[in-house]
Structure 1
């Protein structure tokens, strides 16, 4: 579980406690939250009660546990449909999934981390960490490295020291210099690879989703297992990935700024 930083202001404190409850990924008792909370007992109790009153948390009196509330589900659905790439990208991800037969991911950066926005499973489903809504490391995932490689230099300079560089597998990048070198290669190649960096047996190829002005919007990957295929075979999907990324970027720009652009079909990318 990642530590939740102490926030200032009423809203900041409430959101940090909400993040903390969510990080347990199960209903949690008050003392469990208190043990890892940056706030005093009375402050934490007051914040939790306010969150329950507002419907973003629920409280089970029998089990004395807090859990995320249904109001968050409504908010999450609205965010997914209004703010993320996922709705406009879905048709293109579906086409890519049919063409490759492998697992497809769509992601954006969430600070120094990766937020998975959508996932289409392979014909033969593979168990792996990534799921829509989950947050993962950027420095050792294909989508994460594809996005880091295309950040403006000042943003990248801020992001690199924030990576944990924890070793998940023997292939994991474990230093800022090693990551910097790989990002340079990714920019030259136009795609990123996951060589079982995050999970044993899981490999992928990923490309960034870039706007017409080369602004980073997200990343798409084709993911499989080393038991079923190879990185060499996955690399053959790079043209399909790049084509899908171009179409997603065009659709997203038209969706966000419909009055300033032509249709996605006529836009020059």
Structure 2
């Protein structure tokens, strides 16, 4: 690697840690200020660096464009894959990755349970918005007005005796999901399946996906499934971190 390129990259790395003055950059690179000025001017011209009115240096708008492009090129499915595989290995249970698109919640990925009894689900198939944990965690992040519109248009098919069957109850639960940071499906879609879910957030803090664990009740009871919440939420936070999310006030929530 050329010396100039190495120094320019070091400047970007240092600015990624926080704003710097010319003197600070020169000291950290171990070079004269004129060398830093030459490099910074080139980076400024290409919008990799921005100089404020106090002559402090910050990352420029081109770095934002590249970070978004890098994530878009990988895609949430690729970003989440190693984390989902790890969760599947450690728990032995079915793991799903789902997203909210075009008014539907669909599974993007699935890791099968290692148990003899497995949950039937299919990648790409839409999930009931009122009866699955992963849908609840995705809907809970929508603006209030949009949540209400979604809740008002649902048919509320009753799948089990525990299925939510009206908009008011669903909206109340979605508000609770948003507060607690996870969602549950206590045999609401299938009588023998309990699910928990947590949200994946991007750099802006928006929920872009949900991760869920689905377990037949003959394998684990409801309380045993909920005991897996800390591991599920850690996985969701790890995926969120790889999507550029860095929470300021501790863990953010999720559902499945």
C-alpha deviation, 1:164, in angstroms: 2.0
Contact 1:130 1:136 in 2 (8 A): no
1:93 to 65, 74, 84: 84
Task: Note the C-alpha offset of 1:93.
Answer: 0.2
TM-score (norm: length of structure 1) = 0.61
Aligned match of 1:139: 130
Contact 1:172 1:198 in 2 (8 A): yes
Which of 83, 96, 106 aligns to 1:115? It is 106
Aligned to 1:197: 188
| Alignment gaps of 5+ in structure 1 | 1-80, 254-266
Instruction: Evaluate the alpha carbon distance shift between residue 268 and residue 180 of structure 1 in structure 2; reply closer, same or farther with a 3 A threshold.
Output: closer
How far apart are the structure 2 equivalents of 1:126 and 1:110? 30
- Structure number with greater CO (CA < 8 Å, separation at least 6) is 2
Alignment partner of 1:268 is 2:246: yes
Shift in alpha-carbon separation, 1:161–1:126, aligned structure 2, 3 A = farther
Q: 1:159 to 1:82 in 2, by over 3 A?
A: farther
Indicate if the aligned counterparts of 1:201 and 1:225 stay in contact, CA closer than 8 A. yes
Give yes or no for the alignment of 1:152 onto 2:113: no
Q: Which whole-Å CA distance do the structure 1 matches of 2:221 and 2:179 have between them? A: 21
Q: In the alignment, which residue of structure 2 is the partner of 1:222?
A: 213
State the TM-score, normalized to the length of structure 2: 0.64
1:209 equivalenced with 2:174 (yes/no): no
State the Cα RMSD in Å.
1.9
Gap runs ≥5 in structure 2: 1-71, 248-256
Q: How do 1:161-180 and structure 2 match up within 5 A?
A: 161-180=152-171
Q: Which has the larger radius of gyration?
A: 2
